Chains A and B, each alone.
Chain A
Amino acid sequence: MADKSSSNAYWKANVRTIQIFLVIWFVCSFGFGILLRPMLAGIKIGGTDLGFWFAQQGSIIVFLVIIFAYAAKMNKLDREHGVEE
């Protein structure tokens, strides 16, 4: 097992990464899809507005990008902190 201070640094970096991705996750689903939809109403797309697109399709695409980006970032962190399997 890695020493204590190094594991703490790894865990802190992980939590920070999660926080950043959770903000994106929230803004692109609850934000653009629901709460901020009135603000995006001016941007028209295919007979409706951007908020509708985010609620029905856009958020899903963002979710996919987030998961793979997180997986890649964590693989890098694992190696940097020497905790990979």
Chain B
Amino acid sequence: MDQFTLNLIVVGATFALYFGIAIWARAGSTAEFYAAGGGVHPVANGMATGADWMSAASFISMAGIIAFGGYDTSAYLMGWTGGYVLLAMLLAPYLRKFGKFTVPEFIGDRFYSGTARVIGVICLLIISITYVIGQMSGVGVAFSRFLEVSNATGLYIGAAVVFAYAVLGGMKGITYTQVAQYIVLIIAYTIPAIFISLNLTGNPIPALGLFSNEVNSGAPLLQTLDQIVTDLGFKSYTQQHDTTLNMFLFTMSLMIGTAGLPHVIVRFFTVPKVADARSSAGWALVFIALLYLTAPAVAAMARMNLISTIYPGGVKEAPIAMAEAPQWMDNWSKTGLLKFEDKNGDGLIQYVADKEANELTVNNDIMVLANPEIAQLPGWVIALVAAGGLAAALSTAAGLLMAISSAVSHDLIKGQLNPGISEKGELLAARISMGVAIAVATWLGLNPPGFAAQTVALAFGLAAATIFPALMMGIFTKRINSKGAIAGMLVGLVFTVVYIFLHKGWFFVASTASFSDTAPMLFGIKSTAIGAIGALLNFVTAYLVSNATEDTPAEVQELVESIRLPKGAGAATGH
């Protein structure tokens, strides 16, 4: 059986599983649509949160970025896990006690202002759409490879599938579908990693294999890797090359962004008890950590295998001949994401750091998907990885589209513009906003502002600068009033958006950029790291403005008192 057929069978089977579970679970109750996680065991809820959280960025893109960036890219690993600590201690339990369904609803009530709620909606929309762009570029990569079409065609097909998937509705709300998606994606991520770790280090646990000795040389894997990449003129893998300031701010930006992501926060609104909100964050991180502890191993080993494919006799010998390039390179060059051109006409593939002499360009985002092919693993493993990548991208994209549509229909239209809207009208508005969001994301995904994980990192910066400070101040101080919160969110949002657009182009149209991330505007801070500064400005502005204006009303102070105590939480309500 050829690889293409195998891919179709495995991906088709996993999709059939998700839809099957969805139909089976939907027959039970329609109330579950909103109350995802209610009455579900915290462990199952943790798995579902893991699937919701781990997107194309984590699955497809992150290890590829680490493979080429080494230690400097550790911010992705620390940032996308450390945020759960903040979520568990600073936000989740109190928002659960508050007991409503959306983030803008909390912002509107706590800051007693419809304007604050609308600004919350605007922030949410900007964050989520940026995030979906990252998902779409990941989906495009996965579909282009597994259907053997160009990247653009893959993107269109992916967009159609995501749209059908999200609009069919309720998929997000059905926790068990996401549990299945988590299981598919974690198996798909781990199995090739185990094979590769065994081959390279003899250690069946990839996370430990990373720090073991390499079988051929007998020296530690990371030491060998450092040696090989520096021999080719690349930056060493384990040393720091980025500035400490940028690394610090980037990690901070991803962490507080994690805690400020609306589609993650809402998962904790509906757990049965306040105590469960705390432990649910822990369980979610357990299942996320299974992938995140493996990812650095996947990254280093993929880099190693890529180089040994090109230099079969070692980096001191001549590289492989173009005519003898392995099948996977041919396959990926069809997608346009891997290119080789014989610049010096010797028929060999030179892969070196020097841009003039280098003849091989590899898009970071293909590394995880190509990894099993590079390591010459069996066909079913390759098919499984394709299925896992799609599960990761689809579950998160669907979750984000749900967040977008509920913000538009529930918070914006029903909450502010037209409170008398019929239920049918609300549903229609929800579907239209989903359609618009996905069209915009697909169009921008054709020329994304970065690799999937970098685009997603921009979304985190925006969440860090807007939603996280507003929520945290809303809970931990009574003094921040509506004027302070509104000013803070606006300053954080505008500062961060403008900084990102100056570097990535206005509305991500690359030709309109004034700066680049290789030579950023302020103190070497890249656009992916600026969210931390935006957050700081948000905090400071909110504090200063609140102190200069009136105190918060007594009933708001009582609200803050009450969300701080777990007692008397009751079930979450929609209205």
Residue positions of A touching B, CB distance < 8 A = 1-2, 7, 10-11, 14-15, 18, 21-22, 25, 29-30, 33-35, 37, 45-49, 52-53, 55-57, 59-61, 63-64, 66-68, 70-71, 74-75, 78, 82-85
Q: A1 with B562: in contact, given A30-B251, A35-B244 (CB under 8 Å)? A: yes
Q: Is the CB of A45 within 8 A of B211?
A: yes
**Which B residue's beta carbon lies closest to that of A25?**
B85
Shortest CB distance B225–A (Å): 8
Q: Is the CB of A47 within 8 A of B278?
A: no
Shortest CB distance A21–B (Å): 6
Q: Bound complex: CA of A48 vs CA of B566, how far in Å?
A: 45
Shortest CB distance B69–A (Å): 12
**Which A residue's beta carbon lies closest to that of B476?**
A15
Chain B, residues 202-222, CB within 8 Å of chain A (1/0): the string is 000001001110000001111
Taking CB atoms, residues of chain A closer than 8 Å to B74 are: 33-34, 52, 55-56
Residue picked from A2, A34, A82, most chain B C-beta under 10 Å: A34
Q: Is the CB of B282 within 8 A of A68?
A: yes
Of all A-B residue pairs in the complex, the 4 with the closest CB atoms, nearest first, are: A47-B220, A46-B211, A47-B223, A55-B74
Q: Is the CB of A70 within 8 A of B278?
A: yes
Shortest CB distance A65–B (Å): 9
Q: Is the CB of A34 within 8 A of B251?
A: yes
Interface pairs (30), CB distance under 8 Å: A1-B562, A18-B89, A18-B90, A21-B85, A29-B82, A30-B248, A33-B78, A34-B251, A45-B211, A46-B220, A46-B221, A48-B220, A48-B223, A55-B71, A55-B74, A56-B71, A56-B74, A56-B210, A59-B82, A60-B293, A61-B289, A63-B285, A67-B281, A71-B275, A71-B282, A83-B566, A83-B567, A85-B274, A85-B275, A85-B567
Say yes or no for B77: interface residue by CB 8 A criterion.
Answer: yes
Taking CB atoms, residues of chain B closer than 8 Å to A59 are: 77-78, 81-82
> Which of A63, A75, A82 sits near B85, CB closer than 8 Å?
A63
> Which of A35, A64, A66, A85 sits near B566, CB closer than 8 Å?
A85
Q: Is the CB of A67 within 8 A of B282?
A: yes
**Which A residue's beta carbon lies closest to that of B88?**
A67
Say yes or no for B189: interface residue by CB 8 A criterion.
Answer: no
Residue picked from A18, A52, A60, most chain B C-beta under 10 Å: A60
Say yes or no for B533: interface residue by CB 8 A criterion.
Answer: no
Residue picked from A47, A48, A67, A85, most chain B C-beta under 10 Å: A47
Say yes or no for B226: interface residue by CB 8 A criterion.
Answer: yes
Q: Is the CB of B275 within 8 A of A46?
A: no
> Which of A1, A2, A7, A56 sits near B77, CB closer than 8 Å?
A56
Shortest CB distance B238–A (Å): 4
Q: Bound complex: CA of A83 vs CA of B278, how far in Å?
A: 15
Q: Bound complex: CA of A78 vs CA of B275, how far in Å?
A: 9
**Which A residue's beta carbon lies closest to that of B275?**
A75
Q: Bound complex: CA of A18 vs CA of B90, how far in Å?
A: 8
> Which of B81, B564, B565 sits near A60, CB closer than 8 Å?
B81
Taking CB atoms, residues of chain B closer than 8 Å to A45 are: 211
Q: Is the CB of A10 within 8 A of B281?
A: no
Chain B, residues 227-264, CB within 8 Å of chain A (1/0): the string is 00000000000101000100110011001000000000
Say yes or no for B303: interface residue by CB 8 A criterion.
Answer: no
Taking CB atoms, residues of chain B closer than 8 Å to A56 are: 71, 74, 77, 210, 296
Shortest CB distance A69–B (Å): 9
Say yes or no for B14: interface residue by CB 8 A criterion.
Answer: no
Taking CB atoms, residues of chain B closer than 8 Å to A30 are: 248, 251-252
Q: Bound complex: CA of A58 vs CA of B136, how far in Å?
A: 31
Chain B, residues 342-359, CB within 8 Å of chain A (1/0): the string is 000000000000000000
> Which of B207, B222, B282, B568 sits near A64, CB closer than 8 Å?
B282
Shortest CB distance A56–B (Å): 4
Taking CB atoms, residues of chain A closer than 8 Å to B565 are: 1-2, 7, 10-11, 83
Say yes or no for B224: interface residue by CB 8 A criterion.
Answer: yes
Q: Is the CB of B226 within 8 A of A47?
A: yes
Q: Is the CB of B248 within 8 A of A78?
A: no
Taking CB atoms, residues of chain A closer than 8 Å to B77 are: 55-57, 59-60
Q: Is the CB of B89 within 8 A of A22?
A: yes
Q: Is the CB of A21 within 8 A of B81?
A: no
Q: Is the CB of B81 within 8 A of A74?
A: no
Taking CB atoms, residues of chain B closer than 8 Å to A15 are: 476
Q: Is the CB of A29 within 8 A of B78?
A: yes
Q: Bound complex: CA of A85 vs CA of B275, how far in Å?
A: 8
Taking CB atoms, residues of chain A closer than 8 Å to B220 are: 46-48
Q: Bound complex: CA of A10 vs CA of B279, how far in Å?
A: 19
Known: A63-B81, A63-B82, A82-B567. 5 other contacts (CB 8 A): A46-B212, A47-B220, A48-B222, A52-B222, A60-B289
Taking CB atoms, residues of chain B closer than 8 Å to A33 are: 74, 78, 251
> Which of B207, B273, B568 sits near A57, CB closer than 8 Å?
B207
Residue picked from B89, B273, B564, most chain A C-beta under 10 Å: B89
Q: Is the CB of A11 within 8 A of B285?
A: no
Say yes or no for B269: interface residue by CB 8 A criterion.
Answer: no
**Which A residue's beta carbon lies closest to that of B97?**
A85
Taking CB atoms, residues of chain A closer than 8 Å to B223 are: 47-48
**Which A residue's beta carbon lies closest to that of B80?**
A60
Q: Is the CB of A60 within 8 A of B88?
A: no
Q: Is the CB of B222 within 8 A of A46?
A: yes
Q: Is the CB of A21 within 8 A of B211?
A: no
Taking CB atoms, residues of chain A closer than 8 Å to B221 are: 46-47
Q: Bound complex: CA of A2 vs CA of B565, how far in Å?
A: 9
Q: A84 with B212: in contact, given A22-B89, A60-B289, A60-B292 (CB under 8 Å)? A: no
Q: Is the CB of B248 within 8 A of A71?
A: no
Q: Bound complex: CA of A70 vs CA of B568, how far in Å?
A: 21
Shortest CB distance A19–B (Å): 10
Q: Is the CB of A53 within 8 A of B211?
A: yes
